[in-house]
Amino acid sequence: MIQDLFTPSVQHSLELVGIFVFAISGALLAVRKNFDVFGIAVLAEVTALGGGIFRDVIIGAVPPAAFTDLGYFVTPLFAAALVFFLHPEVERINLAVNTFDAAGLGLFCVSGTVKAYEYGLGLTASAALGLATAVGGGVLRDVLANEVPSLLRWDRDLYAVPAMVGSGIVVLCIRFDALNPVTSGLAVITAFVLRLLAIARHWRAPRAWNRRSAVDEKATAQ
């Protein structure tokens, strides 16, 4: 059974690691946007917990874990404080944000898919909710920072696709009764590496065939 693959402590630790790395990415973006200490904390909390709250509401795990586990709420604050005092030099913030975000993406797409399946969703629905868990916090982060969410922009490197791959690996492992901590870890690493490769090599999803757009691409890319 899927419940036997992870002890409660392992599942909890996985969630906290994902929360921490997402919070780091949110806080770093807040620093880049010149937010004050409150803005840094808010963006860290929203980035870290947004996707998980959405997942828990959908599957009926209410109240969401973010409101019942003090560790879930405090971890983003710790990450925000760390970034507030020790954030990288300005020219390195973009790289740091992308790296931490890729790590969170990999962790959350796997844990989100597993939890959705544990609550009775089918394989396809579990993969979709794993994707939503991974990208939901990032979408909220970008919206609050007054940016078009990265996964909707044609001029941004692949963001949702690596999470889709990670979630897909998990459901395939479930389907063939091969899901265990090792294969789950491989799914996390695969999503993480794909995201970093997409950043390094500027992999982007194709746009509509024979597209005729009146949008000024130079303006959109800015």
38-68 residue pLDDT tens: 999 999 999 999 999 999 999 999 999 889 9
- Residue 167, domain member (yes or no): yes
- Residue 65, domain member (yes or no): yes
Determine the average pLDDT of the residues in 98-127: 90
- Residue 221, domain member (yes or no): no
In the prediction, which pLDDT does 217 show? 55
In the chain, the number of structural domains is 1
- Residue 209, domain member (yes or no): no
Q: Is the pLDDT of residue 33 over 50?
A: yes
Length of the chain as a residue count? 222
What single DSSP character describes residue 87? P
Rounded to whole angstroms, the Cα distance separating 136 from 55 reads: 9
CB 47 within 8 A of CB 21: no
- pTM of full prediction above 0.75: yes
- Domain, as residue range, for 71: 2-204
| Residues in Cβ contact with 95 at an 8 Å cutoff, skipping those fewer than 6 apart | none
- Residue 131, domain member (yes or no): yes
Determine the average pLDDT of the residues in 79-84: 90
| Residues in Cβ contact with 194 at an 8 Å cutoff, skipping those fewer than 6 apart | 158, 161, 162, 165
Estimate the share of the chain in helix, then strand, then coil, as percent rounded to the nearest 5: 75, 0, 25
- Residue 215, domain member (yes or no): no
